Amino acid sequence: MRLGRESGVALVLVVVVGVTAAVNPAFVSGRGVHDLLLNASIVALLAIGQAPLVITRNIDLSVGSVLGLAAFLSGQLFLADRDTPVVLVVLAGAALGAACGALNGALVAVAKVPALVVTLGTLYVFRGVDYGWASASGVHQVNADRMSPRFLAFGSGSVLGVPNLALIALVALLVVGFALRDSRSGRELYAIGSNPDAARLAGIPAGRRVFGAFVLSGTLAGLAGVLHAAYFGTVNASVGTGRELAVVAAVVVGGVAIFGGSGTVLGAALGALLLTTVTGALPVLGVPAFWQRAVDGAALLVAISLDRAVLLRVVERLRTGRGARRG
């Protein structure tokens, strides 16, 4: 069923690209595809980090704020020293994201506060820190001319025509996908999402696994913030605002069940690519810009409704099968 869902997402993606290309062939030109991959890479990176959490029946609504905080950190590092090594900026952003993820994970896994409540709160806390930092520093926006040329070249560069950002997202996809599929801890995440109580009775360290998933989500969100700064070259305290809706929508549209226990990071990445493609296609098709956010919300509702319908059908089949065996 999951493979079918991913195939379905890929099919819809092909249809959207085909229809848009028929209206404007430039949409599938080399430059058009390059820009599409660039725009999708950051959302895909966030979705890859979000997927393991949703598999465990949790969620991280603070990813947009973490992205913004890490992006602003990148700008501040270059204000302090324009020659700051790119690797150091990347590591600093990822470390900041990991710290934010650890805070979320501790409140959920240790304090037992629902993830929805925790991350809704930290969404505003992290954003408030971002604005407070900008106010205290007296620098509300960092422009490209204050950043290292090597950093900006890294954000806009490519290898054999494939953007660096897309390659980083691909590496994250392969690593996290392998961990979920082939490692013991990854398989335990599915067990936790399928039945948390049974997972604990089986001796699975649910708290540690959920904590680790939050740290992963925060780390990738921090990395996405650095990549955002490198690509766009302009950073302020509002970067990433509202990005969490697109991320959750991408994950669920890609086949990761919001009720936990199933899904893949490949599906989440495909969902990110699909929604980014739709967003880019709407202006080409003459659809007003204010409908773009509505598309994310509608896609999320449709995907959740579909997952719920499938779940109820499976439960009904199981009940029917048990009744037949008893009879």
Q: What is the CATH number of the domain that holds 52?
A: 1.10.3470
145 Cβ contact list (under 8 Å, min separation 6): none
Distance, in Å, from the CA atom of 111 to the CA atom of 297, rounded to the nearest integer, reads 31
Distance, in Å, from the CA atom of 270 to the CA atom of 5, rounded to the nearest integer, reads 10
Q: What is the pLDDT along the chain (327 residues), one digit of tens a residue?
A: 445 678 888 888 898 899 889 988 888 888 888 888 888 999 999 999 999 999 999 999 999 999 999 999 999 999 999 999 999 999 999 999 999 999 999 999 999 999 999 999 999 999 999 999 999 988 889 999 999 999 999 998 998 888 999 999 999 999 999 999 999 999 999 999 999 889 988 999 999 999 999 999 999 999 999 999 999 999 999 999 988 988 998 999 898 988 888 899 999 999 999 988 988 888 888 877 667 667 767 777 777 777 666 666 655 665 666 555 555
- Burial string for 249-273 (b: 16+ CB within 10 Å, else e) reads bbbbbbbbbbebbbbbbbbbbbbbb
Where are any strands of DSSP class E within 32-77?
A: none
Locate 182 and state its tokens.
């082939």
Record the pTM: 0.90
Query: What total number of domains does the chain contain?
Result: 1
Percent composition of the chain: helix, strand, coil (DSSP 3-state, to 5): 80, 0, 20
DSSP 8-class letter at 259: T
**Angle of helix 243-253 relative to helix 63-80, nearest 10 degrees?**
130
| Host domain of residue 88 | 2-326
Other CB atoms within a 10 A radius of the CB of residue 289 amount to 9
